[in-house]
Structure 1
Amino acid sequence: MAQSVPEKLPSNATAGERLLFQVLRHFLPDDYIVYYEPDIQGMRPDFVVIGPDLGLVVLEVKDYTKNALHRLNPDQWFIQTADGLTVQKSPLKQARDYAFRIAKLLERDKSLIQLEGKYKYRLKFPYGYGVVMTRLTQLDLDRHALTDVLNPKLCLTRDDIDPQSESFSPANLLDKIKNMFVAPFRHVPLSQRDIRTIRYHLFPEVRISAEYKPVRPLPGSQYALVELDDVKVMDIQQENLAKQIGDKHRLIRGVAGSGKTLILASRAKILAESHPDWRILVLCYNIALARYIDQMIQHKLRENIGESSEMSTVNPPPTHGRITVRHFHRWLKEELGIHEDQIPDVLTRLEKGEGHFPQYDAVLIDEGQDFSSEWLKLLVKLLNPETMSLLIVEDGAQTVYSRRRNFAQDIGLSFRGRSRVLKTNYRNTAPIIQMAWDFYQTHGLDDHDQEDDMEVIPPESSQRPGNPPVIHKASSMSEELAWVAEQIERLHYEKRVPYEEIAVLYRYNNRSYPIVRLLQQYLKQRGIPYYWISESQDTKMNFNKDEAAVKICTIHSSKGLDFKAAFVVGVDSMPFHHQEVKPAQEASLLYIGMTRARDYLFVSYSGESTFTPYFDRLLQREAVRA
């Protein structure tokens, strides 16, 4: 079964489109992607099919009966409707125009074109187009001489797409689609990297990252070419969620590294572009995460082929003015002029219809497990009742605050049938997520409140290979942090890890436990630049993930962020001894810290706590193996 975007058609799709959609999904190969009415730089072809051994094909669908076809020529079709005679562009010409424009768009990427031979500077894979006449058979085309304006090679009829037809054959369907090329040529099958690159260019909303490499102008090429490296895009499930989450209230539960924040940012962009007049609010609990999401949305709103993939905060596009991104308490202060303890009073006034409060057409909440039921109730009250567009993304395993809640009882919304689950961790290597989840199961899962409305979802690893996490037990805090600085220097110079892709995470810092001061001292000695995110409110709000400096922050402030390498230091300071802090919450916090690392994870400690025996056992196991 082929993958499709969307997973199901909207209610306004025609009967013919529904039939073709189901046939393409069920009878094309598993590695094909079927797009229905994709938005490609303002173009809206009915279907676009991409396959490794196919290339790219555009299909225009028409549900015309033979009686509706009044007069046809290669450019225009005169169609008889209930309202009279209408003139429409030939669907074959429409499909051809779409295919040519898509090809021109993709020919700007050096990795997708041929650099020599007869088709120099043309796409290295075939692209084609065709028409699907869902209510006409091949016999109808022959009887009415329609083949004069519809090349049989470029046309699918009812016989070709109806499984109930005696002449239907999946193999014949695939063969006909593979032959919809005006100038076919042999090509090497598209690699997964090629398909990621095609999706990167056609659908900016699925972009995660890519490195733009400088390209010298090629003589004879009509374009200023681009070349991308390390292309990362959403998978099809993530793309579907971002594009077709659905209306009204929705809930996404996802494991660490499943792309929840990316989906939320993409959804905000799609809503802003689809509804320019909407007032959209994006909230989270973490100050640094709010800053990061703001940068991510700005970046997505200005994405165009050839632009740098780096995030920028200069001159945000006009659309961004309709999106407010805040951490919850800053939003309370700036938009409502209140503090958290005044929320009950505001709720009472809203119930009575008193006062003037802002209204939002859409509210998107990241790290929803950090939000109390009272906070959510307030946000629901401020939602436009006509849109009720509420999106909450969360992970029960990352619960580090006492937030008991039940959606139906507390805010009057049920998410039954309106929720999706993301189980696959794409961020971390298999060894990192294996150790992090094993630790969480050992120390955090048993104490989870099963009566809460917050489900803990076991992660499924993407099985991305990588180095095992490094555990270091030091004799003192000073020795531990000197080792950390040394490892950072080695990562940067030997593994070519940029400073901005390295983070040092800690539980707490004070005079009696000066972990940051000592770390800064050793980083300075080695000439390593750093930025202390958690130093103050200002440093959190001015945080720029792309600044070329090692990031130092509390584990709390790292929520929602990720880095190529992460050092979780001072593990012996956990669990934090306070009557309001549960050991299970501390286990969640350490799990969060470990899952910030995409490729390299370092865990260090110099004392003892109820958590350190777990890492002692891992060290002993490695010593036995050695």
Structure 2
Amino acid sequence: MAQYFGLGSDVPIEDSERLVADSLRQLPDDYFVLHHVAWQSRRNGREGDGEADFLVIHPRKGIVVIEVKGGGIDVVNGRWFSKDRYGQSHEIKNPYEQAIASKHALVDWLKGDLAISNVGIGHAVAFPHIDAVPPLGLVASKAITWSRADLAEPRKVVEGVISHWGLRANLSAQDTSRLLKLLAPTVTVRRTLVSISASSSNELFALTAQQVEALAGLRSVRGGLLFGGAGTGKTVLAIARAQQLSNEGFRTLLVCYNELLGDQLHAQFNDMKSLYATTFHKLCFQEARKAGLTIPSSPSAEWWETEAAELLVEACATNGAEFDAIVVDEAQDFAPSWLDALRCLFGPKAEQPFYVFADPRQELWGRNWANGADWPFTHQLTKNLRNTSPIAERICAVFQSNDHPSGVNGPAPMWRDLENPKNPEVDVIAVVEKLIDEGFGPKNLLVLCGTAKTASRLRSFTVGPYSFGLWGGNGIAAETIARFKGLESEAVVLLLDRSDEANIEKMLAYVGISRARAVLAVIGSGKQRNLLNWSYSAAVKSK
């Protein structure tokens, strides 16, 4: 049987594509079949983007691009119509023209981005719901037109297309492996959400079908918004998309707002020439220095909010285009003017890849990041992949959302009423001592506070054999919720020591709770317990 690469699942959702997939699987084992493929290239004055329902690849015989059209077909005066199961007629694009466009885009992409030219590419159109396809015009010769009956003999019809187009190929094992790695929509990536637990920071995991579908969707458009709740894998997908773009030859920028997350991403990709990761404001400083612009020695709050973006735009006029693609993580922390300023890094180029990942529930700074935005592609993630189900249920309870937990069991989160409001470190130390007794330590335990004042004061204390310190240093880290946003720890002690307007309090708690993968202890008042719907049993289930 052929080696089959599907979109998150071995069984396509559409019946027409399922019938074609079932047929193509029966090809000999030296064939590769890819379902729902999309690719992009640096344009440089040419069109290189494309997508195909199926690709059939043989290292010695070539590549066949297959367009699938389900239902019945009518062609009236050159216009194409498809009939659905209810007999309703809908105008559609000419599938042969679609297949030809995909074929030419793939040829350009292989030559330009993979430097592969020793492979012939042909195309065909499959009508899996039609027993006998009538003549459809000069572009629809019998050899490249498949009916339901033809699908019963997949090797015969595929080799008929290869013969019709006179295809040949000379793909080495390395060429084939490189091609499949970039085109196959099933993706496995290194877990790159920063973890204090060394044992889990290098864990490998396969993306869920929902994530693979989102990633494939992003590959078929040049801009889009992917949003979801805490723990749904947005940063993982942002990193995966940035890596894809880099591997495909784009000079790629991966940018976020949070300093700790930015530092970790920068260190992770420091050795990659075509992928640069940083924070928005560090990028502003860097480009301004490169352009020789004046940077204030003590920037004001107004400078951070508005003038930094203006300085970036000014610097771009001097420095020119710096990147071919941009991926923005934690975009809810950005102002619209910041996102506009980032586009200046493309220079005069149009339609460069620009992707945004966000969680509206974590919009702590009130910058109205999505104000006036119009995204060509949007996709929502709803399955929590970071937290155990008991913690995920507490996350859902805050805003009574319908996200789906991971299905991974774990201990119930703990709540401790704050007994010492004037000296909350007493309560924190009591909880941390219990977790130390149960085997936790600096590598997998973190304390999060609502205010910088409390976090700083906590760092003057010791607990058991450990001191409290900054994240990334020695001892048990004590950080603020806002500073740690975007990161995670195996165990978190969350101190709700900040009193704000109710919605801000809920957002901060939501962010803090979601940082804990497996063990969570929350210290707060009875009022805060009610505000967070702690007793609420979320009607969620694993999906």
Tell me the TM-score normalized by structure 1. Answer: 0.52
1:164 is the counterpart of 2:135? no
Q: Is the 8 A contact 1:529 1:550 kept in 2?
A: yes
Q: Is the 8 A contact 1:256 1:459 kept in 2?
A: no
Aligned counterpart, 1:517: 457
Q: Distance in 2 between matches of 1:241 and 1:616?
A: 31
Report the number of matched residues.
Answer: 383
Aligned counterpart, 2:44: none
Letter in structure 2 aligned against 1:377? D
Q: Distance in 1 between matches of 2:385 and 2:224?
A: 22
Aligned counterpart, 1:555: 481
Identify which of 553, 563, 574 aligns with 2:498: 574
1:226-625 alignment runs, 5 A limit = 231-242=204-215, 245-246=218-219, 247-275=221-249, 278-296=250-268, 298=269, 316-317=270-271, 320-337=272-289, 338=295, 339-340=303-304, 341-343=306-308, 345-346=310-311, 355-384=318-347, 385-406=349-370, 409=372, 414-416=374-376, 418-441=377-400, 458-476=402-420, 477-491=424-438, 493=439, 497=440, 499-510=442-453, 514=454, 516-518=456-458, 520-523=460-463, 526-528=464-466, 530-533=468-471, 543=472, 549-569=475-495, 571=496, 573-576=497-500, 582-605=501-524, 610-614=527-531, 618=535
| Long gaps (5+) in structure 2 | 11-15, 27-31, 39-53, 66-121, 126-141, 155-180, 194-201, 290-294, 296-302, 537-543
> 1:209 and 1:617, CA in 2 relative to 1: closer, same or farther beyond 3 A?
closer
CA offsets 1:185-225 (integer angstroms, 9 cap, x no match) = xxxxxxxxxxxxx9xxx988523289xxxxxxxxxxxxxxx
Q: Distance in 2 between matches of 1:273 and 1:617?
A: 45
Q: Tell me by how many angstroms 1:362 deviates.
A: 1.2
- SS of structure 2 residue aligned to 1:611: helix
Aligned counterpart, 1:4: 6
Identify which of 188, 191, 200 aligns with 1:208: 191
Q: Tell me by how many angstroms 1:549 deviates.
A: 4.8
> 1:46 and 1:548, CA in 2 relative to 1: closer, same or farther beyond 3 A?
farther
Letter in structure 2 aligned against 1:567? V
Letter in structure 2 aligned against 1:4? G
Q: Is the 8 A contact 1:528 1:550 kept in 2?
A: yes
- SS of structure 1 residue aligned to 2:191: strand
CA offsets 1:124-143 (integer angstroms, 9 cap, x no match) = xxxxxxxx9989xxxxxxxx
CA offsets 1:3-38 (integer angstroms, 9 cap, x no match) = 823899xxxxxxxxxx98862179989xxx974599
Letter in structure 1 aligned against 2:189? V
Q: Is the 8 A contact 1:256 1:395 kept in 2?
A: yes
Q: Distance in 2 between matches of 1:333 and 1:585?
A: 30
> 1:295 and 1:263, CA in 2 relative to 1: closer, same or farther beyond 3 A?
farther
1:98-137 alignment runs, 5 A limit = none
Q: Distance in 2 between matches of 1:614 and 1:269?
A: 40
Q: Distance in 1 between matches of 2:354 and 2:503?
A: 29
- SS of structure 1 residue aligned to 2:443: helix
> 1:62 and 1:396, CA in 2 relative to 1: closer, same or farther beyond 3 A?
closer
- SS of structure 2 residue aligned to 1:424: coil
Q: Is the 8 A contact 1:503 1:565 kept in 2?
A: yes
- SS of structure 2 residue aligned to 1:252: strand
| Long gaps (5+) in structure 1 | 9-18, 40-44, 49-56, 65-131, 136-157, 171-197, 211-228, 299-315, 442-456, 534-542, 577-581, 620-626
Aligned counterpart, 1:178: none
Q: Is the 8 A contact 2:254 2:275 kept in 1?
A: yes
- SS of structure 2 residue aligned to 1:321: coil
> 1:5 and 1:616, CA in 2 relative to 1: closer, same or farther beyond 3 A?
closer
> 1:134 and 1:324, CA in 2 relative to 1: closer, same or farther beyond 3 A?
closer
Q: Tell me by how many angstroms 1:395 deviates.
A: 0.6
> 1:260 and 1:345, CA in 2 relative to 1: closer, same or farther beyond 3 A?
closer
> 1:473 and 1:134, CA in 2 relative to 1: closer, same or farther beyond 3 A?
same
- SS of structure 2 residue aligned to 1:559: coil
- SS of structure 2 residue aligned to 1:324: strand
Q: Distance in 2 between matches of 1:465 and 1:27?
A: 39
Letter in structure 1 aligned against 2:6? S
> 1:481 and 1:519, CA in 2 relative to 1: closer, same or farther beyond 3 A?
farther
Give the aligned CA root-mean-square deviation in angstroms.
Answer: 4.6
Q: Tell me by how many angstroms 1:427 deviates.
A: 0.9
Q: Tell me by how many angstroms 1:602 deviates.
A: 0.6
Q: Distance in 2 between matches of 1:431 and 1:235?
A: 20
Sequence identity percentage = 19
> 1:500 and 1:203, CA in 2 relative to 1: closer, same or farther beyond 3 A?
farther
Q: Is the 8 A contact 1:532 1:551 kept in 2?
A: yes
Q: Is the 8 A contact 1:46 1:59 kept in 2?
A: no
Higher relative contact order (CA 8 A, sep 6+): 2
Aligned counterpart, 2:42: none
CA offsets 1:344-368 (integer angstroms, 9 cap, x no match) = 7558869xx9644553211111100
> 1:485 and 1:462, CA in 2 relative to 1: closer, same or farther beyond 3 A?
closer
> 1:26 and 1:475, CA in 2 relative to 1: closer, same or farther beyond 3 A?
farther
Q: Is the 8 A contact 1:432 1:469 kept in 2?
A: yes
> 1:208 and 1:47, CA in 2 relative to 1: closer, same or farther beyond 3 A?
farther
